[in-house]
A and B are shown apart, each in its own frame.
Chain A
Amino acid sequence: MSPQVLYELGGDWYATRLDRGWERPGTAEAEQIFARHGLTGVFWSLS
């Protein structure tokens, strides 16, 4: 994975982490975040 993709994934994954109301993403939401950055398939599946 390129550093640019990883940077963008990190920004998306941690976007609300500093917020008091942060909630751990559920399986579907987490997979959607991965998919937005082209990360799909068995390796990125949480199901």
Chain B
Amino acid sequence: MTERERDVRAAVYGAFRDTGKAPAAGELAVTLGLSGDDILDALRGLAAAHALVLRPDGASIWMAHPFSGIPTDFLVTVGARRWFANCVWDGLAIIGILGGTGRLDTHSPATGEPVALQVIDGTVQGEAIAHFLVPASRFWDDIGYT
């Protein structure tokens, strides 16, 4: 990872943490004082290194794990702020890295029933069982499916 990629990655994660949304390349360019091409080069380098995932347009951010840049069925609430996560693992992780108290709302993929997991000071309340469909060695074969 180059120093520029580190700067861009840090700015991406800071934006997700602070706003709940993926920053656009143009916003990153302004924040970091770089050209749009420099930002796109860095984003593509980070994607190639699996440090984040770009949308099919190759220019906007789909995932910066555990955050999702698009709406998903994994809605995290911490205080009055909200984030979308990529999966239940990531949703609980967002709560963890943002202080350990929050709520994850999703639905059972088996039945469609709402599932709410409340985390209070690191203790999870709520009934659920998480299943992994893809072995760890193949997580990145199709990260959107994983």
Contacts and interface: CB of A to CB of B under 8 A. Distances in A.
Partners in one complex: yes
A34 B97 CA distance: 18
B51 interface: yes
Interface residues of B, number: 36
Considering residues B66, B93, B129, which has the most beta carbons from chain A within 10 angstroms of its beta carbon? B93
Nearest to B122: A7
23 contacts: A2-B124, A3-B130, A4-B124, A6-B88, A6-B89, A6-B130, A7-B122, A10-B66, A10-B89, A10-B92, A11-B97, A11-B100, A13-B89, A14-B66, A15-B97, A17-B97, A18-B17, A18-B97, A20-B6, A20-B7, A34-B136, A45-B136, A46-B137
Given A14-B66, A43-B135, A3 B93 contact: no
Contact of A17 (B65, B89, B128): B65
A9 to B, nearest CB: 7
Given A6-B88, A22-B9, A24-B50, A14 B137 contact: no
A21 interface: yes
Interface of B: 1, 6-7, 9-10, 13-14, 17, 49-51, 65-66, 88-90, 92-93, 95-97, 100, 117, 119, 122-124, 126, 128-132, 135-137
Interface in A33-47: 34, 42-47
